[in-house]
Structure 1
Amino acid sequence: MLRSMYAGISGMKGFQTKLDVIGNNIANVNTVGFKKGRVTFQDMMSQMTRGAQGATASRGGVNPMQVGLGSQLGSIDNIHTQGFRQTTNNPLDFALEGDGMFVVASELGPGNTLGGANVAYTRAGNFYLDEAGNIVNPQGLYLMGFPAFETGQNIVVTDDENDVKINITLDNNNNILAATDKDGADISDNIAYNGGIFTIEDDSGNIIAEITQDTNGKMTAVNGSNEPIELISEATVDYNTNPNIASTLTIPESAQSFSIQANGIVNYIDEFGTVRVAGKIAIANFSNPAGLQKAGSNLYLNSENAGYTGLVEPETDGTASIVSGALEMSNVDLAEEFTEMITAQRGFQANTRIITTSDEILQELVNLKR
């Protein structure tokens, strides 16, 4: 039988696979966080009909003569370029601007370590709160982050005319670590603490503000005339950013509101009006994200060729920043996919023509004897 016929068959199989990948890309043109695929081809082995010969004193060299036996798949690549950003104004929609992936898990290992088949990675940032206040993805997997530890409080006090502005930083034992007025001058010596009340005086001994903290931790402030003045209380925190340690991110049911910053910090305002931190979203970094294995449901699994380097904080080590209220959409370009579809269709068509032409030649050979 003719070698061209089998070469045509190999070409048809390859373009069928290319169309499969194109079809999957187009089907996921609106899939959140989807990364398109690409097919490349390689030539198959060649049959040697004459080997190469080197030059001699009486004649020049001769090139080899080989007949190719068709084509084969070279690779099916995942193209991890940035998808376009779609604004949703949903605070639990996160878009990654840059490299890295969200980490989701069904459970954690001993000591809150990540490992095993329960961990997956995704660029799809459509998250939700479950009944316990945990941030989860549509499959119920927990979004992983770095745990936060409160080390104290930062208090800012001002009146309506901005005549009084005080910044006080406390540790967990209510010891004053720093205190400044609106001009940045140190006023630590002008503050006294007694029975849950911070009394701030001016240099003349006049009371300019009193801050009261109740047993629940709620703080209120009045000026020297016992009139309420505005107070903002914010917890100061530290993070465990061990690249192998993670935790769930939980918003308490009693929280009045929450927000997510570009550096991954998840803040919420508790029932007493204090700004607290639930943790910091962790980003998984890969030197070769194309080496990740697709697992369906917008999830990827680590592989030996992905180059996983551990968890990092957003906006560090070249990783992405987080945009709350937006989603990263698919990076599929329909114009490109339709062009590739035409190429694949014509390639398939040309290979069928090779087979029909080869068949006609065989028919002529059969007809030699009549």
Structure 2
Amino acid sequence: MMRALWTASTGMAAQSLNVDVISNNIANVNTNGFKRGRAAFQDLMYQQVKAPGSEASSAGTQLPTGIQVGLGVRTAGVASIFSEGSFQQTDNPLDLTIQGRGFFQIQTPNGDTAYTRAGSFSIDAQGQLVTHNGDLVQPGITVPSDAQTIQVSADGTVSAVQPGGIQTVLGQIQIADFINPSGLTHLGSNLFQVSNASGEPTIGNPNENGLGSIGQGMLEMSNVSMVEEMVNLIAGQRAYEMNSKAIQAADEMLQTANNVRR
């Protein structure tokens, strides 16, 4: 019975974290480029009361299954699911998407490189292409002050049309890919950072070597499905309740045993 208390408590802790992950998904349903998380669980070690295949009688028969009592559950990890979100047409020339694999490269204030799928960009006072937080897009693109229109092609080439119909190539946006995107570290603000699990980035031009293409005037939405998250939330809540019931049942059994009189 004491074992049941501890086992059920691990279940409550696991489902509490599960609900935390689901809540974060729901909160970011309208966050551009957001990738939903999914909690993964593993059962804990087992107490071997009788090992499978051990001798069951003097006649030499063996136990077909044995007695193995599990000790609960633990969180193995929270994986980010990098399936592509739907695209929303905005007609803003500075809104960009990556259709396929890849991440935009962003220079953070401390000089490090971060990565994002959210392509909602702007131009700062110096004409540089930046995120909404003012972080520079890499490689750097500077738009001239007299630019009338900005065009971004599928291969990331950025050009501007200036007075007199002069078209000037401003540069090319390169994107990065990872062998294990789920291993990236979340920084918040739609940014990711390289980790040992993600591997080093592979940098290339869009539309080449398996990298995605650039779409202009649209944004990638969150890949969160509200219906799926609500179902998962209900299931997680019910699992939490059932584990609490198991604790209550074990407590009542202990109380009954405590009230036994000789």
- Relative to the length of structure 2, the TM-score reads 0.94
Q: Matches of 2:134 and 2:2 in 1, distance apart?
A: 56
Residue of structure 2 aligned with 1:286, choices 178, 184, 194: 178
Q: Which has the higher strand share?
A: 1
Aligned residue runs from structure 1 range 1-370, under 5 A? 2-53=2-53, 58-62=59-63, 63-106=65-108, 118-145=112-139, 248-369=140-261
Q: CA deviation at 1:61?
A: 2.7
Q: Which has the higher helix share?
A: 2
Structure 1 SS opposite 2:147: coil
Q: Matches of 2:89 and 2:161 in 1, distance apart?
A: 24
Contact 1:256 1:270 in 2 (8 A): yes
Q: Matches of 1:57 and 1:39 in 2, distance apart?
A: 47
Match for 1:143: what amino acid? Answer: V
Q: Matches of 2:247 and 2:143 in 1, distance apart?
A: 64
Structure 1 unaligned runs (5+)? 108-115, 146-247
- Relative to the length of structure 1, the TM-score reads 0.67
Contact 1:284 1:308 in 2 (8 A): no
Q: CA deviation at 1:258?
A: 1.6
Structure 1 SS opposite 2:236: helix
Distance 1:117 1:134, change over 3 A: closer
Q: Percent identity, aligned pairs only?
A: 38
Structure 2 SS opposite 1:102: strand
* Structure 1 vs Structure 2 CA RMSD: 1.9
Larger Rg: 1 or 2?
1
Structure 2 unaligned runs (5+)? none
Match for 1:59: what amino acid? Answer: G
Distance 1:345 1:106, change over 3 A: closer
Q: Number of paired residues?
A: 260
